[in-house]
């Protein structure tokens, strides 16, 4: 497990599980240089075969940029259902209902509104790996991807063909070195409704229905933040299309060793545990990573 800020460690003992929803990561060293054109303002085009803007990346050099917070419209109610499914290589929360009951994000680097398609997870065989994005070279045991598509397109499949088609929110998780007052292992009660149901979908293609409110309880209060990283990249699984505006939060969601381990017990199509499901970091190839906050400079140093 990677170290967080020392002063954050000191306040952990004063926090209760109910308010320990997320913890800020290190602020990273910023770069300076020429301002590039804003990719979110460029005209959308159909996807061409490319390996120049692949994801994930290591976030270690970035440009501070003034931009708005991400706006999150919940849309679903306590009766809206979602499909929770073991897809063999990952686990997914899929919003199957009508579009007007699906969450929508906007603001920040996004032009227009993006509707949620699914949330899926990436993990590794131990606590030192699993996340796809790395922060200052540090990899975390779990990463969630909330996949959204641009509402100006008919559906997810159509949107996947355009450079402004998709936006993915990346959130990393870390194991908290914190014990309850009785010295039992800390468990994040916000994500427990999801992790506690993983035992009910142990094998490839197994699935169930639950309320979106329960399965996304950990996600909803986390999204509308005004500090995050963003860059133009790709899907991290085949076909690796370069159609994604990435939004990666500069905070971790804490959870217990047990809550991570249940992901590793899920079975793949071969009947074996899915112990490793993440892509290694890709070169920037001159792209800029922006750190968005309400008041920031706007400079860019092209990194490799």
What is the Cα–Cα distance from 206 to 194, expressed in whole angstroms?
15
User: What residue has token string 């996600």?
Assistant: 219
What is the enclosing helix (H) or strand (E) of 221? helix 220-223
Residue in 88, 113, 41, 52 with CA at minimum distance from that of residue 241: 52
What is the Cα–Cα distance from 71 to 47, expressed in whole angstroms?
27
Q: Is 149 a catalytic residue?
A: no
What is the Cα–Cα distance from 227 to 236, expressed in whole angstroms?
23
Paired tokens of 261: 């381990």
∠ CA 242-100-157 to the nearest 5 degrees? 30
∠ CA 187-188-191 to the nearest 5 degrees? 125
Provide the β-strand partners of residue 175: 255
Q: Is 89 a catalytic residue?
A: yes
Paired tokens of 20: 């320990």
Q: Which residues contact 272 (CB under 8 A, 6 or more apart)?
A: none
144, 118 in Cβ contact below 8 A?
no
Q: Which of 76, 114, 140, 153 is catalytic?
A: 153
Helices (H) and strands (E) in the chain, counts: 6, 15
Q: How far is CA 178 from the centre of its chain?
A: 23
114, 106 in Cβ contact below 8 A?
yes
- Catalytic residue numbers read 89, 153
């Amino acid at each position: 497990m990677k170290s967080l800020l020392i002063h954050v460690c000191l306040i952990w003992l004063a926090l209760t599980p109910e308010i320990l929803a997320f913890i800020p990561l290190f602020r990273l060293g910023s770069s300076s240089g020429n301002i590039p054109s804003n990719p979110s303002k460029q005209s959308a085009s159909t996807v061409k075969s490319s390996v120049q803007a692949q994801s994930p990346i290591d976030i270690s050099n970035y440009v501070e940029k003034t931009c708005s917070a991400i706006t999150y419209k919940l849309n679903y109610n306590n009766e809206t259902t979602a499909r929770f499914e073991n897809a063999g290589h990952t686990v997914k929360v899929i919003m199957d209902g009508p579009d007007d009951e699906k969450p929508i994000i906007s603001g920040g680097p996004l032009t227009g509104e993006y509707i949620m398609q699914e949330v899926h997870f990436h993990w590794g065989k131990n606590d030192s790996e699993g996340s796809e994005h790395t922060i200052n070279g540090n990899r975390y045991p779990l990463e969630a991807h909330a996949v959204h598509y641009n509402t100006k397109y008919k559906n997810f499949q159509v949107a996947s063909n355009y450079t402004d088609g998709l936006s993915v929110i990346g959130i990393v998780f870390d194991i908290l070195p914190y014990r309850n007052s009785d010295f039992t292992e800390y468990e994040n009660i916000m994500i427990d409704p999801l992790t506690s149901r993983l035992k009910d979908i142990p094998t490839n293609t197994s699935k169930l229905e639950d309320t979106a409110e329960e399965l996304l309880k950990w996600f909803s209060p986390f999204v509308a933040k005004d500090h995050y990283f963003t860059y133009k990249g790709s899907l991290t699984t085949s076909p690796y299309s370069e159609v994604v505006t990435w939004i990666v939060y500069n905070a971790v969601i804490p959870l217990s060793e047990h809550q991570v381990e249940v992901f590793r017990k899920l079975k793949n199509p071969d009947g074996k545990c899915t112990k490793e499901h993440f892509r290694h970091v890709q070169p920037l190839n001159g792209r800029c990573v922006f750190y968005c906050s309400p008041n920031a400079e706007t400079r860019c140093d092209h990194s490799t």
